Amino acid sequence: YVFQEVEGRTLSVQCPLFNLKAGGGCTDEKLKVTSADGQVKQFCGSTFPAVLSMSSGAVTIAHLYKATKKKKRKNVCAGEFLCIVYSSITDISKFMFKEMTKSNQVLDVSDDEIGVLYSDNSAAKLNANAYVKTATGLEKELIVSCPKIKFQKKGCKKEKLKMQNKNKKFNKSFCYSTNQSNEFPVRTWSTLKFSYSRKNKKKKECSGGFICLVARLRNEVPPVMTSLDTVPPDITVEPPEPRPFCENCGQSKTPNLKIVGGVETKVNEFPWMVYIKGIKQEQLPKYFQCGGTVIKTKWVLSAAHCFTSIQYEKVIAVFGEHNYKLNNESNSIEQEVECVYVHPKYKEYEKNNYNNDIALLELPTELIFNQYVQPICLGWPEDVKVEEKATIIGWGHTAHGGETSSKLLKTEVEIISNTRCKELYPMALLTHNILCAYTHYKDSCQGDSGGPLMVIRSGVWVQIGIVSFGDECAQFNSPGGYTKVPQYINWITKTTGSSQC
């Protein structure tokens, strides 16, 4: 099997099950791992490192097995292994592994996790069951994929895998080997039961075992693993929910044709962008700047850290702005912010804790939406996708410690997993309310705080993040941190007083 990744990213291998039990040591059976730069490592017996990392962008894994007929040899069956290969930007924590070895095992699978159930492939007798659980009392639609089922052709009395939900309306059994992907949706109330039975096999009989993956079926169907490929299942799903608050959000009237590493935007390309400046009380410099976004007629979304630990006389929000050094931009308007609402659980004095870095700015009068001032759509959890490119915009510094840009700039960064982010930025306290993005020499910087991290969904712009923190702007292996907007839809609704625009 050959696994490829973008050059420069580390590929890692973990094996929850590893037991190559053929006699003769590595001579008769081994797992050989070869990287693109020529590193070769081989493993046999039951010894495999907790994590094997290879620095190149490609890894070849070969299982070598010599089926000899020596009388002294105790094991005629090949050994067993289950390994997962993943890149440095993969969130490995979402995979929940469970070997079926006994009865009444439980596997809890949340919305973003994938449960992996598997058996060994020995010839020994076995009776085991496991319960895959979702949120109790809520009907969840699961998708089950069994890329490997390799049983002896002796019928259900010899070896069987059975699945059923609590009310037994779903009841499916496998008693044979199959090369089909075996993908199917299951609607279940809280629990899906897996039962596996195997009788003692004769001397030369071996079980190939099984592997099944279980995940919650979401609006965006997750890829399903097969023996060699990753393919989207052929399942019809309901359309996504309407966007919160404003119906005609995220629509730019300008066709899409400094942020560090960024380029200048077209004038009013992003009509929801807000230039925020605060006038300080007896402090130098006399003002601070941040970004924000229009989300309702009287509300602007920004970052909490822009408004804490600073004494200011007033905060000004400028709409329809492109170049803040030009005083003759006829499309820009200003309002003095009436009130700033910082999230109540934001801890401004706790170092490296960026949780709940979100704030709402209430305006004194309603905005009139036109081609220069528009609201942006806010994202749902399924809009956040690791490895996807997202857009950031702002008037911040164009280099770490450098000058700010008077013109609105934009650039693209890649969303990375929190696991990868923690590796690159170990001092940051990362929670499920935070997401990270990283691309070499492209980043948000000082002055961009409070601005949006955006993606396009169904032809409209959707905000999934708020510029929050970073180490040094756009440096190698230095990701940016963003407040995850979908986590705060309820708080925004409550604070603004309604779900209306």
Catalytic residues: 305, 357, 449
Give how far Cα 256 sits from Cα of 267, 273, 375, 460, Å: 11, 15, 17, 11
Alpha-carbon distance of 478 to 460, in angstroms, equals: 29
Q: What is the DSSP string of 62-127?
A: EEEE-----TT-S--S--EEEEEEEETTS-GGGEEEEE--SSSEEEE--TT-EEEEE----SS-EE
Report the C-alpha dihedral over residues 338, 341, 347, 348, rounded to 10 degrees. Answer: -20
Name 292's bridge partners. Answer: 274
Alpha-carbon distance of 340 to 304, in angstroms, equals: 9
Q: How many CB atoms neighbour CB 162 within 10 A?
A: 16
Alpha-carbon distance of 72 to 82, in angstroms, equals: 28
Structural tokens at position 367? 């905005």
Alpha-carbon distance of 238 to 453, in angstroms, equals: 26
Which residue from 114, 80, 86 is spatially nearest to 98, judged by alpha carbons?
114
Alpha-carbon distance of 143 to 225, in angstroms, equals: 11
Alpha-carbon distance of 477 to 470, in angstroms, equals: 11
Structural tokens at position 85? 């290969």
